[in-house]
Amino acid sequence: MNTFTEFDVKNQRNLTMLVDFYELTMANGYLNKGVQDTIAYFDMFFRRIPDGGGYCIMAGVEQLIEYLSNLKFTKNDIDYLRSKNLFSDDFLEYLLNFKFTCDVWAIPEGSPVFPNEPLITVRGPIMQAQFIETMVLLTVNHQTLIATKSARICEAAKGRAVMEFGSRRAQGYDGAIYGARAAVIGGCSSTACTIADEMFNIPAIGTMAHSWVQLFDSEYDAFKAWAETYSDNTVLLVDTYNVLKSGIPNAIKVFNEVLKPLGKRPKAVRIDSGDITYLSKEVRKLLDEAGYEDVKITVSNSLDEFIIRGVLENGAKIDSFGVGERLITARSEPVFGGVYKLVAIEKDNKIIPKIKISENVEKITNPAFKKLYRIYDKGSKKAVADLITLHDEVINESSALELFDPNYTWKRKKIKEFYCKELMVKIFDNGNLIYKSPSVMDIREYSLEERNKLWPEVLRLENPHAYYVDLSHKLWELKEALLHEYSSVFE
């Protein structure tokens, strides 16, 4: 049954058929109507930051690359599709010979990102550029959601280590695996998810469950057996019976009787239930009194950014946090609403911008093939705004730049001493991969650096300052003109 266990399938899944069925019916329609090779431009972007936060953390690009690199329909896929009696033979033949030839731009993973700016831009034959919609969204929505939540939780922990502990409550296997990856990108220092370490080189850690303690005749016996096995790395779970009356006294006894004679120091105790503020303070006292000032206290139990902020404000003595279900599912807001919209097509070698209108003004898209710049203040080196321009606009760093709110155009600001960075990098050129993903730990580092370039007001957990994402004059004028063309629709 299990014929390929020695083969490392982990990074090699073919997810071509993980696609909304309508992408296939549209593709068949494009071919039927002879428009399959029309060059189209799509943007992926989002409209709202989850949890009322001030920024999101881009993630998922490496998995998007793997997906696009492995795009291929198998004979089984074709047979399955034929059985639906919807698709032409020409179309099925086309799929069998499918070759990805799009250009793809993406904001690198770990970057802070903001509403209404393109995170991904795809240019290519509409048949292909449309087809990949489901997986672009699924991949980036999921990991950006978790990386963003992780960033919030790490922000609340104020430099203390946060460990990702959520596999058992994740939404499916990839929810656990790529969720752990995204959590580390967002700032977690480690994970309990072993396979994520094996795949991505992010430190996996773990100690014992309550069942270890229950298996032995007493808590003391259980701790002793543990310390004897892991004398270099002793972390004891002290809340199976009663933290202060049983767990800590037994732990100290074992530290003294097992580790001390070996000249070893215990690492930590873990509390997984109860009033962690109170317990951590009392545990700290007991450990200190016994001469274990260097032994850390780590806690877990339905934590999130608000609980962590609360226990620290109340003086809890906690060195690190294990965060499970509320991180791995982004429980407070478990959906990242990224969308993928047609923004232009090419006709007679000219780029024709397209706009998706809506009665809901916030749902109107930014048309055209675009570029995205981040503007930094020269003195403070802080990011002051992102600017979306047409693809062929160049920003002159030596003259002043006028920014204005695209919805309230009288809100204007002149920026003089600045420099700017183009945010999107090209990752596929005519279907060829031209980008190498950094390691996850490098992305984590990069992300922490980039977040340091945001003002603290933007990083705030609640009621943050809204970071500016503005349109260039040219782009704004183009958008207005297109809206006027469609104004009759609202009559």
Within residues 53-92, the interface with a second copy by CB under 8 A covers: 69-70, 72, 74-77, 80, 84, 86
What residues between 451 and 470 interact with a second copy by CB under 8 A? Answer: none
| Residue 393 beta carbon to a second copy: minimum distance, rounded to whole angstroms | 24
Single residue of 47, 96, 214, 294 touching a second copy by CB under 8 A? 214
Looking at beta carbons only, is 13 or 421 nearer to a second copy? 13
| Residue 76 beta carbon to a second copy: minimum distance, rounded to whole angstroms | 6
Single residue of 22, 260, 417, 430 touching a second copy by CB under 8 A? 22
Looking at beta carbons only, is 256 or 332 nearer to a second copy? 332
Beta strands in 348-458 (DSSP E): 350-353, 370-377, 383-390, 401-404, 412-415, 418-422, 425-429, 432-433
Looking at beta carbons only, is 341 or 451 nearer to a second copy? 341
Helix axes 173-185, 440-452, angle to 10 degrees: 50
What residues between 142 and 201 interact with a second copy by CB under 8 A? Answer: 142, 145-146, 165, 167-179, 192-195, 197-198
Looking at beta carbons only, is 25 or 452 nearer to a second copy? 25
Specify the amino acid at residue 190: S
| Residue 155 beta carbon to a second copy: minimum distance, rounded to whole angstroms | 22
Single residue of 7, 348, 394, 408 touching a second copy by CB under 8 A? 7
The neighbouring-strand residues paired with 432 are: 429
**Residue 430 and residue 427: Cα distance in Å, rounded?**
10
What residues between 327 and 356 interact with a second copy by CB under 8 A? Answer: 329-331, 334-338, 340-342, 345, 354, 356
Looking at beta carbons only, is 122 or 420 nearer to a second copy? 122
Say how many residues touch a second copy, by CB under 8 A. Answer: 120
DSSP structural state of residue 363: G
| Residue 70 beta carbon to a second copy: minimum distance, rounded to whole angstroms | 5
What is the DSSP pairing of strand 320-323 with strand 103-106?
unpaired
Q: Is 306 helix (H, G, I), strand (E, B) or coil?
A: helix
Looking at beta carbons only, is 265 or 356 nearer to a second copy? 356
What residues between 416 and 435 interact with a second copy by CB under 8 A? Answer: none
Consecutive H or E run containing 342: strand 339-347
Asked whether position 226 contacts a second copy by CB under 8 A, the answer is: yes
| Residue 32 beta carbon to a second copy: minimum distance, rounded to whole angstroms | 5
CB atoms within 10 A of CB 234: 24
Looking at beta carbons only, is 115 or 175 nearer to a second copy? 175
Query: Are 276 and 311 spatial neighbours (Cβ–Cβ below 8 Å)?
Result: yes
- Specify the stretch interacting with a second copy by CB under 8 A; choose among 96-104, 289-297, 359-367, 468-476: 359-367
**Residue 194 and residue 177: Cα distance in Å, rounded?**
9
Asked whether position 400 contacts a second copy by CB under 8 A, the answer is: no
Single residue of 48, 160, 210, 267 touching a second copy by CB under 8 A? 210
| Residue 247 beta carbon to a second copy: minimum distance, rounded to whole angstroms | 10
Query: Are 400 and 73 spatial neighbours (Cβ–Cβ below 8 Å)?
Result: no
Looking at beta carbons only, is 370 or 374 nearer to a second copy? 370
If we measure between CA atoms, which residue out of 342, 450, 433, 471 comes closest to residue 56?
Answer: 450
Specify the amino acid at residue 117: E
| Residue 235 beta carbon to a second copy: minimum distance, rounded to whole angstroms | 9
**Residue 120 and residue 129: Cα distance in Å, rounded?**
12
**Residue 51 and residue 152: Cα distance in Å, rounded?**
9
Residue 444 burial class via C-beta count within 10 angstroms: exposed 0-12, middle 13-18, buried 19 and up: buried
**Residue 32 and residue 48: Cα distance in Å, rounded?**
37
Asked whether position 412 contacts a second copy by CB under 8 A, the answer is: no
Residue with tokens 């007001």: 457
Asked whether position 28 contacts a second copy by CB under 8 A, the answer is: yes
Three-state SS string across 49-64, please? CHHHCCCEECCCHHHH
| Residue 395 beta carbon to a second copy: minimum distance, rounded to whole angstroms | 30
Looking at beta carbons only, is 133 or 155 nearer to a second copy? 133
Single residue of 89, 313, 348, 359 touching a second copy by CB under 8 A? 359
What is the DSSP pairing of strand 103-106 with strand 425-429?
antiparallel
Single residue of 111, 116, 130, 148 touching a second copy by CB under 8 A? 130
| Distance, C-alpha 223 to centroid of its chain | 38
**Residue 151 and residue 361: Cα distance in Å, rounded?**
30
Q: Is 232 helix (H, G, I), strand (E, B) or coil?
A: coil
**Residue 330 and residue 327: Cα distance in Å, rounded?**
5
What residues between 265 and 324 interact with a second copy by CB under 8 A? Answer: 273-274
Single residue of 205, 259, 297, 458 touching a second copy by CB under 8 A? 205
What residues between 37 and 56 interact with a second copy by CB under 8 A? Answer: 38, 40, 42
- Specify the stretch interacting with a second copy by CB under 8 A; choose among 117-125, 128-136, 293-301, 376-384: 128-136
Consecutive H or E run containing 163: strand 161-164
- Specify the stretch interacting with a second copy by CB under 8 A; choose among 148-156, 235-243, 248-256, 454-462: 235-243
Looking at beta carbons only, is 258 or 383 nearer to a second copy? 258
Residue with tokens 């992300």: 447
Query: Are 264 and 296 spatial neighbours (Cβ–Cβ below 8 Å)?
Result: no
Single residue of 96, 215, 262, 466 touching a second copy by CB under 8 A? 215
